[in-house]
Chain A
């Protein structure tokens, strides 16, 4: 049984159709990376899965439950968490408050969850009271991922987690992603510069011009010369 199934999704912004019937499947415990050029519809797909955009056709199911057209505040309760590419933190709030917001839909004590997140991102525990707006890009990305993990989701959706990060910071982020995955969490990553991401992915697929045009295991995609030339900056 797959965790997430996307079936012939058509979606976009207003009259502008970006996705023209995309299929996608995420299995439990795997990392799936979607690569593709700018404007291919990668972020649109993420937003549609999460209910920020409403598809005009097709269906999305999470754990065999139909979530097509469900609003984000409903989707988040089912065990999906989403880290947008940009503006993925609350800048005027502190690190701790950002994490608390991640668990907004939960009641009760959050201390255990917070300590679990800070085990993954130790750098955060020293900066509890820092306003996230004053933090660096790498630290913000940690806050953003930490916030998403507060809900203890079953599927973590990351939109370009390494975008705008220095190479060493990007490496740290991917190392964290791998650690998160080892705890059993499924991860769906969208990446433009996707070599690092594909390297740790079970599977990858290529999205171009609003259609999925290729799918294979991570290593196979990395080895594929055509894809390398077209989408991974060539050799």
Chain B
């Protein structure tokens, strides 16, 4: 049982990377738009399906599908995923303009219920177009490789998932730390009324928040599809509890907390399977969530409000 732990730690890092990418958007939305976005999971699924739809389109443009090195996918898939991310944020920004913008002054509860409505609509729209059955990005089968000296087996795709997450997190860090827009986002999350007083255009910051949050959500959905080998319309919704647990664990409103929380929740969920049935995985996230809310509701990196 214990001998499985290194392997489970690795799986945890893979799923933690995906949770972290999803959690960043939830955290940014919470700190800048001031509500919990229950549609975030379905934005992940939307990104995963848009990518699926774009693979043949990229094919007609002559982008080769041959796998890159040991990975199970090629340039065609990567192009489809990048365009899928862009399409996702365009749709999400349109939703903001159509729906959320009218509700800027509404209370948190109104906004939260609105996101639940959007979540249901989005999920059912995906089901309407693609059906409830799993869809596959690729039929290729990838064999895990034994890592010498470490008692773990890894698939190249999994290393790709972790690398992409690390790269994106690093880019996000540079963006928030050193660009004018990134600093303005932090300022807005810190103190929205003062941000306005300094001349920051809040609507522009909200736009950036959706663009970043939705793109990373779409990427998380695609990477979940790469890791799981299939996607369903439920893909994001099923991960939402873990994502919220991760975000609250790290300290809601702090994107770095979301990253840390994502990795911890991902690892905890996977390692728990060495001791309890896999069916209880969601209970682990739930347990972390309840425990954190009882002991330290501001989260590990959260600040007092």
Cα A87 to Cα B191 in complex, Å, equals: 7
Bitwise, B178-200 to A at CB < 8 A (1) or not (0) is 00100110110011011111111
Q: Is A8 an interface residue (CB 8 A)?
A: no
Residue among B180, B194, B199, B201 making CB contact with A89, cutoff 8 Å: B194
- The distance from the CB of A96 to the nearest CB of chain B, in whole angstroms, is 10
A26 within 8 A of B: no
* A72 near B197: Cβ-Cβ < 8 Å: yes
A77 to B196, CA, bound (A): 12
Check B199–A97 contact: CB distance below 8 A. Answer: no
Contact with B along A85-98 (1 / 0, CB 8 A): 00111111100010
Looking at the complex, which one of B183, B191, B199, B201 makes contact with A100 (CB distance below 8 Å)?
A: B183
Q: Which residues of A contact B303 (CB under 8 A)?
A: 91-92, 133
Residue from the set B193, B196, B199, B202 with the largest chain A CB neighbour count within 10 Å:
B199
Q: Does the CB pair A76–B199 fall under 8 Å?
A: yes
Number of A interface residues at 8 Å Cβ cutoff, please give it: 25
A72 touches B196 (CB 8 A): yes
Complex interface residues of chain A between 73 and 122 (CB less than 8 A to chain B): 73, 76-77, 82, 84, 87-93, 97, 100-102, 104-105
**B166 nearest CB across to chain A (Å):** 24
In the complex the two chains form, what is the Cα distance from A147 to B194 in whole Å? 11
A52 at the interface (CB under 8 A from B): yes
Closest to A72 in B: B196
Q: Which residues of B contact A50 (CB under 8 A)?
A: 197
A101–B196 contact, CB under 8 A?
no
Q: What residues of A have a CB within 8 angstroms of the CB of B187 in the complex? A: 90, 93, 97, 101, 104
Total interface residues in chain B, CB < 8 Å: 18
In the complex, A82→B195 CA distance in Å? 11
Given contacts A92-B186, A93-B186, contact A76 B197 (CB under 8 A): yes
Q: Which residues of B contact A102 (CB under 8 A)?
A: 198
Cα(A182)–Cα(B193), bound, Å? 30
A101 adjacent to B198 (CB under 8 Å): yes
CA distance in complex: A97, B196 (Å): 16
Alpha-carbon separation in the docked complex, A113 to B210 (Å):
33
Complex: A52 Cα to B194 Cα, angstroms: 10
CB distance from A46 to the nearest CB of B (A): 10
CA distance A90 to B184 in the complex (A): 10
Q: In the complex, how many angstroms separate the beta carbon of A161 from the nearest chain B beta carbon?
A: 15
Q: Which residues of A are found within 8 Å of B194, using beta-carbon distances?
A: 84, 87-90
B190 pairs with A91, CB closer than 8 A: yes
Bound CA span A88–B195, Å? 10
Residue of B186, B190, B193, B195 with most partner-chain A CB within 10 A: B190
Q: Is the CB of B193 within 8 A of A101?
A: no
> In the complex, how many angstroms separate the beta carbon of B204 from the nearest chain A beta carbon?
9
Pick from A52, A82, A89, A101: contact of B183, CB under 8 Å: A101
Cα separation A147 to B191 with both chains bound (whole Å): 14
Q: Are B198 and A52 touching (Cβ within 8 A)? A: no
Which of A87, A91, A133, A147 contacts B198 (CB under 8 A)?
A: A147
CB of B298 to closest CB in A, whole Å: 13
CB distance from B188 to the nearest CB of A (A): 9
Q: A93-B190, A105-B199 are in contact. List 4 more A-B contacts (CB 8 A).
A: A71-B196, A84-B197, A88-B194, A105-B198
List residues of chain A with CB under 8 Å of any chain B CB. Answer: 50, 52, 71-73, 76-77, 82, 84, 87-93, 97, 100-102, 104-105, 133, 147, 151
Can you show 9 pairs from A to B with CB atoms below 8 A apart? A88-B194, A89-B191, A92-B186, A93-B183, A100-B183, A101-B187, A101-B195, A102-B198, A105-B198
